[in-house]
A and B are shown apart, each in its own frame.
Chain A
Amino acid sequence: MKPAPFAYLRPSSLEEALAALAGEQGAKVLAGGQSLVPLLNMRLAAPSMLIDINALPDLGHVRVAEDGVRVGALARHAEVLASSEAERAQPLLGMALRHVAHPTIRNRGTTVGSIVHADAAAEMPMVLRLLDGSVDVASVRGRRTIPAAELFAGPLESTLAHDEVAVEAFFPGLAPDAGVAFQEIARRHGDYALVGVAAHVETDGDAVTRASLGFVSVSDVPVVVDVTHALGDPAAKALAELDPADDIHASAAYRAHLVKVLAPRVLAAATDHARSRAGEATQP
């Protein structure tokens, strides 16, 4: 199968890219192409124009600051994963990225592209949502920051306007007395998860003061469930809010089963992680 014809632009400045995008209703951004090109090849997408952002300058960064990790639109999954500084600031990045496809796909696919592709079966949109991160977008009309809670509109649909390019994602760093964990069940490592669950836990001494779970592949959009008051049975609380579906990969009942298995396990792992970090932080 081959893509339908389209016009192609490879701008060398962001301004040029934004002007072109604003001027062509049927245009789409091409980043790593690891989601878009399969859709083109299968003719599930037929944009009139592709605006290839791979030659834009200054978007390949993985920058770690006090408050967290900033990932530029051209940073490949592999580059984010390779940053030990980023992993130290926010360990959930590495934990989840190891499950994003195979290394060969990660060499080309971008983390920001994955987020704005807004696939509820993908790890990184959920991670951004669980950590309450955000995405910075630019258009000819200016720049704005979209909080993760407002980023996902529906299946494979973000709230970016047609003329907007995502330039950077921001993942908040992990507080010293907080912990995270991630696990998923897939047919083979590297495949999309049948179910994936991440946990983010905040502690004060021995007490868990806040706990939330993020889910992959059990809903239409990346979902986060607050389980602070359901530490004894987080899966029941989660399943009351989730709507696992049947597809060719797994039945809804099997997905619900996996939620029941993974939710308590991941919550416990994140709680241990928080306690060990808090222990390290108070050591002289």
Chain B
Amino acid sequence: MTTEQLHDVRLHVNGSVHEVQVPARRLLSDALRHDCGLTGTHVGCEHGVCGACTVLVDGAPMRSCLMLAVSAVDAEITTVEGLTEDDGSLSPVQQAFSDCHGLQCGFCTPGFLTTITAGLRETPDPTEDEAREMIAGNLCRCTGYQNIVKSVLRAAEIEHERSDA
């Protein structure tokens, strides 16, 4: 067997640079988890359906299981670990999930948090319908979604409270 060629890839994740050596077939999700040690990004289906692996690529939510690490070189990536405030406290969306019981087992949660963080930038005052639309591409097997919808609405409130303070 020939050994597989490795590529030197410089990933920009949560404001830090990670120099990793990976085969071309390494998915971004696996590179984040195994090569960068950032295991907050979860992997469910690996075909784009469940949303657990969603990260922000230049601010826009994308499926890290459908990107190759070698193809992510020019991008600024934000994972769930990068959502906390500079002082380490919870971000508005994280705080809202805690307040509203928006998670149970937590497997889906990183994907929801990244997706909603970007969604609220685009729609800072979502209606309940808009909140549902925002999370329509993410699956959760535990919560029944009601508390996740509440968390979206609560996160919008917290964002406003914090920016007024």
Give chain A's interface residues, CB within 8 Å of chain B: 1-8, 10, 30, 33-34, 37-38, 40-42, 50, 52, 54-55, 78, 101-105, 107-108, 188-190
| Secondary structure class of chain B's binding surface, majority of residues | mixed
In the bound complex, CA of A189 to CA of B27 (Å): 27
List the B residue with the shortest CB-CB distance to A9.
B24
Structural contact, B46 and A41, CB atoms closer than 8 A = yes
Query: For A2, what are the chain B residues with a Cβ–Cβ distance below 8 Å?
Result: 25, 27, 30
Choose from B25, B57, B71 the contact partner of A4 (Cβ within 8 Å).
B25
B54 within 8 A of A: yes
Query: For A108, what are the chain B residues with a Cβ–Cβ distance below 8 Å?
Result: 57, 62-63, 66-67
In the bound complex, CA of A196 to CA of B142 (Å): 32
Knowing A2-B25, A4-B25, A7-B24, say if A37 contacts B66 (CB, 8 Å): yes
Give chain B's interface residues, CB within 8 Å of chain A: 4-5, 7, 23-25, 27, 30, 46-48, 51, 54, 57, 60-63, 65-68, 70-71, 73-74, 115, 136-137
Knowing A103-B137, A104-B115, say if A30 contacts B63 (CB, 8 Å): no
Knowing A41-B46, A104-B137, say if A50 contacts B24 (CB, 8 Å): yes
Q: What is the distance, in angstroms, from B81's C-beta to the closest C-beta of chain A?
A: 19
Q: What is the distance, in angstroms, from A51's C-beta to the closest C-beta of chain B?
A: 11
In the bound complex, CA of A3 to CA of B68 (Å): 10
Structural contact, B24 and A33, CB atoms closer than 8 A = no
Query: For A4, what are the chain B residues with a Cβ–Cβ distance below 8 Å?
Result: 25
Choose from A7, A52, A54, A104 the contact partner of B63 (Cβ within 8 Å).
A104
Q: What is the distance, in angstroms, from B128's C-beta to the closest C-beta of chain A?
A: 16
- Closest 4 pairs between A and B when the two form their complex, measured CB to CB: A102-B137, A8-B24, A38-B47, A3-B25
Query: For A188, what are the chain B residues with a Cβ–Cβ distance below 8 Å?
Result: 136
Structural contact, B74 and A55, CB atoms closer than 8 A = yes
Structural contact, A105 and B71, CB atoms closer than 8 A = no
Query: For A38, what are the chain B residues with a Cβ–Cβ distance below 8 Å?
Result: 46-48, 66
A-B contacts, 16 of them at CB < 8 A, read A1-B46, A3-B27, A8-B7, A33-B68, A37-B66, A38-B48, A38-B66, A50-B24, A78-B60, A104-B54, A104-B115, A107-B61, A108-B63, A108-B66, A108-B67, A190-B136
Knowing that A2-B25, A8-B70 touch, tell me 14 more A-B residue pairs with CB under 8 angstroms: A4-B25, A5-B24, A7-B5, A7-B24, A10-B73, A34-B63, A37-B66, A38-B46, A41-B47, A101-B137, A102-B51, A107-B57, A107-B62, A189-B136
